[in-house]
Amino acid sequence: MVENEGIRRYVAHAILWLGIAIVAFPVYLAIVASTQDAASIANGQMSLLPGGHLIETYYKTIFVGTSGSTREPVGVMLMNSLVMALAIACGKIAISIISAYAVVYFRFPLRMTIFWLIFITLMLPVEVRIYPTYKIAADLQLLDSYAGLTLPLIASATATLLFRQFFMTVPDELLEASRIDGAGPLRFFWDTLLPLSRTNIAALFVILFIYGWNQYLWPLLITTRDDMQTIVIGIRKMITTSDALTEWPVVMATAVLAMLPPVVVVVVMQKLFVRGLVETEK
Amino acid sequence: MANVTLRNVRKTYPGGFEAIKGIDVAVGDGQFCVLVGPSGCGKSTLLRMVAGLETISSGEIEIGERVVNTIEPADRDIAMVFQNYALYPHMTVYNNMAYGLRNRGMPKPEIEQRVREAARILEIEALLDRKPRQLSGGQRQRVAMGRAIVRQPKVFLFDEPLSNLDAKLRIAMRVEIRKLQRRLATTSIYVTHDQLEAMTLADILVVMNGGVVEQIGSPLEVYHRPATTFVASFIGAPPMNLIALEGSELRRQLGDHGDATTLGIRPEDLTLTSGDAGDGGLALKLRVDAVERVGPESFVYGRPGDHQGEAEIIVRVAGEHTPALGEHVLAVASRAKLHLFGRDGRRLEP
Ligand SMILES: Nc1ncnc2c1ncn2[C@@H]1O[C@H](COP(=O)(O)OP(=O)(O)OP(=O)(O)O)[C@@H](O)[C@H]1O
Ligand SMILES: [Mg+2]
């Protein structure tokens, strides 16, 4: 029995390590490739050990960019992506928490109708309503602007539903105690509901930031100027060059850079997320 | 300090359910009023109407000579202790107590002084920096009380504040609430469905049933002279024995009994004897069905005669010496201890 347990543990660990290797290898490869020179990759003679061009490649990637396809340094794209992802995440959270607050705590005419209208938009992601959305954005002169990049993606039924579900689990007595304690609707929202929603906000922020960061189709349509393109689109453009050799080290460096912000967000928010989970309790 | 007066108060919930069907209650300054009744009789609804958490369909509620029907809860000068305490989970004990004062714009030093004073009275000074989840049930209860006290309101409202505590703690807190209320002399309305709590706490006891008041009076008045059969069976444990007189052999024993249809005898007013009833009293022949011994007293359950159909009669016996099961005994009660109720369930004065 005892030996059996030991063997089972080793097998389990082996499987886990295998999984890690499968997931981590492409990432490792991207990092290694970004430190080698373009010629050896193009020859198919890429070494699996890091090369000596790390600083050179990253400097070129961030501040200069590829010579041909994207015509802008990746630093600009990183900035664009960051602004877009942050605006989408924060905007979605702000709008949906407010609308959920209205739907759950206020009695107004057509309340449920409005709730169902919000609900129905779940079935209408950007891809489905892309033409009308584009038309509106164009008519409002939002092309090639941060507003155009983010606004049409901000309204979020999912987040609204999530907050609504959470608010419904908050005991009514808390609201009543607040009312007796002289807190109006705004005070209740700021002093009680928002602090209680901290964990939900943190979790949503992680999900929505990554959602925003990975946007492809919409930025592709709405931006035409080089200095407005996002990093996800940048990578794509770098790969498909018709006339010149693909600069693989730069592409790989860009990919690595594109991975970093979501990783940072996950790592940072995870702490807050877990702490929040431990601390709050109704 | 203030009186609380309810005048013909009614509540109809949206959907048409009439939860409160016209209630008049007057609670004097500094009095402790207990609303008691079975589950669903509208106690919480009535209390919440006084608090301003529930609208008043008709009638008037007056707190300290001021009609408060349309006044916001925060402006009614009341404080409420909820059954689940409703402490703000993300605030420390100190902030839980200080929150209402801050919202009123009270200066910091005064808030500090009031919170410390309340904490001292309730013996929770050591807990001020904790969050509610780091407290035991009893401690949470104290914090909830503290939150009410710091406000120094005109009226305290309690909605079953002790029902989440274990039996022992409940008794201890019951005594403490009473002491505290005496000391602060704040008018209080207290909802409970525990009749022992009701009896021990109340200056005025309001017995409710199905949205109406069955009886208002001092606890002993209600106990000794229940106004209806409902009150008779609700107040007192074990409950009063209610015996239908229709077709009963007791009618003859009672002689002239007016229009009474129901006879009530408290278990402690019955005595087991071998002799007879004596001076115009009442004698019941019982066959012992069951016996409960609780230490200082025992309860004997028996049925009159042999007919199984008749209601069980409970007799309280001091000590542990009880008749054996199946034994035939005679239970007697003196005439003065009998309660008579008419066809409508109302008390008939002998
Ligand atoms: N929001 C509501 N809408 C409709 N009916 C309600 C509502 N709240 C309570 N009721 C009904 O009103 C009646 C009285 O309810 P209430 O909560 O006052 O009872 P209670 O005496 O406090 O009972 P308990 O001892 O169980 O707390 C109940 O029959 C209940 O079903
Ligand atoms: Mg209740």
Residue B109 has pLDDT above 60, yes or no: yes
Cα(A215)–Cα(A84) distance, integer angstroms: 9
Query: What residue ranges do the domains of chain A occupy?
Result: 65-280
Place of tokens 């409940």: B170
Strand bridging mode B262-265 / B339-341: antiparallel
**pLDDT value for A282:** 41
- SS3 call for B9: strand
Cα(A61)–Cα(A256) distance, integer angstroms: 11
Q: Tell me the best of B21, B23, B39, B45 to mutate to test the pocket of ligand 1, counting ligand atoms within 8 Å of each CB and taking the most.
A: B45
Residue A144 has pLDDT above 70, yes or no: yes
Place of tokens 């104290």: B142
Identify which of B303, B300, B299 has the alpha carbon closest to the alpha carbon of residue B286.
Answer: B303
* Confidence tier at B311 by pLDDT (50, 70, 90): confident
pTM for this entry:
0.84
Of all residues in chain B, the percent with pLDDT exceeding 90 is 67
Distance of residue A171 Cα from the nearest chain B Cα, in angstroms: 8
Asked if residues A221 and A130 have their Cβ atoms less than 8 Å apart, the reply is: yes
Cα(A79)–Cα(A82) distance, integer angstroms: 5
pLDDT in tens, B5-51: 999 999 999 999 999 999 999 999 999 999 999 999 999 999 999 99
Interface test with A, best of B82, B83, B104, B163 (most A CBs within 10 A): B82
Cα(B198)–Cα(B163) distance, integer angstroms: 13
Identify which of B267, B269, B272 has the alpha carbon closest to the alpha carbon of residue B286.
Answer: B272
Distance of residue B79 Cα from the nearest chain A Cα, in angstroms: 7
pLDDT in tens, A33-55: 888 887 777 777 777 778 777 88
> How far does residue B46's CA lie from ligand 1's centre (Å)?
10
Beta bridge partners of B228: B346
Distance of residue A184 Cα from the nearest chain B Cα, in angstroms: 9
Place of tokens 């009410």: B148
Integer Rg of chain B from CA: 24
Cα(A17)–Cα(A270) distance, integer angstroms: 23
Place of tokens 């029902």: B163
Domain B4-232: CATH superfamily, name plus number: P-loop containing nucleotide triphosphate hydrolases (3.40.50.300)
Residue B339 has pLDDT above 80, yes or no: yes
> How far does residue B28's CA lie from ligand 1's centre (Å)?
26
Which tokens is A155 given? Answer: 């309204």
Of all residues in chain B, the percent with pLDDT exceeding 70 is 95
B103 to A177: CB separation less than 8 angstroms, yes or no: no
Distance of residue A41 Cα from the nearest chain B Cα, in angstroms: 56
**pLDDT value for B260:** 85
- SS3 call for A216: coil
Sheet containing strand B66-67, strands side by side: B18-27, B4-12, B58-63, B66-67
Of all residues in chain A, the percent with pLDDT exceeding 70 is 93
* Confidence tier at A279 by pLDDT (50, 70, 90): low
Prior bond of B109 cis (ω within 30°): no
Which tokens is B284 given? Answer: 């019941």
B73 to A176: CB separation less than 8 angstroms, yes or no: yes
Chain B CB contacts of A179 below 8 Å: 52-53, 72-74
- SS3 call for B67: strand
Residue among B86, B90, B103 minimizing CB distance to A182:
B103
Residue B308 has pLDDT above 60, yes or no: no
Residue among A180, A187, A280 minimizing CB distance to B90:
A280
Question: Mean pLDDT throughout B189-209?
Answer: 93
pLDDT in tens, B271-286: 888 665 556 678 888 8
Q: Class assignment of domain A65-280?
A: mainly alpha
Instruction: Indicate the range of A136-140, B53-57, B101-105, B318-322 predicted with least confidence.
Output: B318-322
Any CB–CB contact under 8 A between A278 and chain B? no
Residue B177 has pLDDT above 70, yes or no: yes
DSSP-derived letter for residue A100 is: H
Asked if residues A209 and A265 have their Cβ atoms less than 8 Å apart, the reply is: yes
> How far does residue B79's CA lie from ligand 1's centre (Å)?
21
Which tokens is A70 given? Answer: 């994207």
Find, in chain B, the residue whose alpha carbon is nearest to that of A198. Answer: B90
Asked if residues A211 and A126 have their Cβ atoms less than 8 Å apart, the reply is: no
Query: What residue ranges do the domains of chain B occupy?
Result: 4-232, 239-348
Residue A239 has pLDDT above 60, yes or no: yes
Instruction: Indicate the range of A15-24, A211-220, B320-329 predicted with least confidence.
Output: B320-329
pLDDT in tens, A83-127: 999 999 999 999 999 999 999 999 999 999 999 998 888 888 888
Cα(B334)–Cα(B269) distance, integer angstroms: 8
Residue nearest to atom 10 of ligand 1 (CA): B19
Place of tokens 């009442």: B282
Question: Mean pLDDT throughout B298-316?
Answer: 79
Question: Mean pLDDT throughout B325-341?
Answer: 88
When the candidates are 3.30.1490.20, 2.40.50.140, 4.10.80.400, 3.40.50.720, the CATH number that belongs to B239-348 is 2.40.50.140
Angle separating helix axes A111-120 and A74-105, nearest 10 degrees: 150
Which residues 203-232 in chain A show a CB within 8 A of chain B?
A: none
Strand bridging mode B32-36 / B297-304: unpaired
Q: Tell me the best of B9, B17, B193 to mutate to test the pocket of ligand 1, counting ligand atoms within 8 Å of each CB and taking the most.
A: B17
Q: Which residue has the higher pLDDT, A56 or A233?
A: A233
Opening angle at CA B9, ends B8 and B15, nearest 5: 130
Chain B CB contacts of A200 below 8 Å: none
Identify which of B188, B292, B195 has the alpha carbon closest to the alpha carbon of residue B234.
Answer: B195
Cα(B182)–Cα(B306) distance, integer angstroms: 52
Asked if residues B81 and B148 have their Cβ atoms less than 8 Å apart, the reply is: yes
| Ligand 1 atom closest to residue B193's alpha carbon, by position in its atom list | 25
CA of residue B152 relative to chain centroid, distance: 25
Give me the total of CB pairs closer than 8 Å, taking one residue from chain A and one from chain B: 60
pLDDT in tens, B127-141: 999 999 999 989 999
Place of tokens 């714009």: B105
Q: CA quadruple A65, A67, A70, A72: dihedral positive or negative?
A: positive
Give A231-275 as a DSSP string: HHHHHHHHH--SSS---HHHHHHHHHHHHHHHHHHHHHHHHHHHH
Strand bridging mode B212-217 / B4-12: unpaired
Strand bridging mode B18-27 / B241-244: unpaired
**pLDDT value for B98:** 96
**pLDDT value for B119:** 94
**Interface predicted TM-score (ipTM) of this complex, two decimals:** 0.85
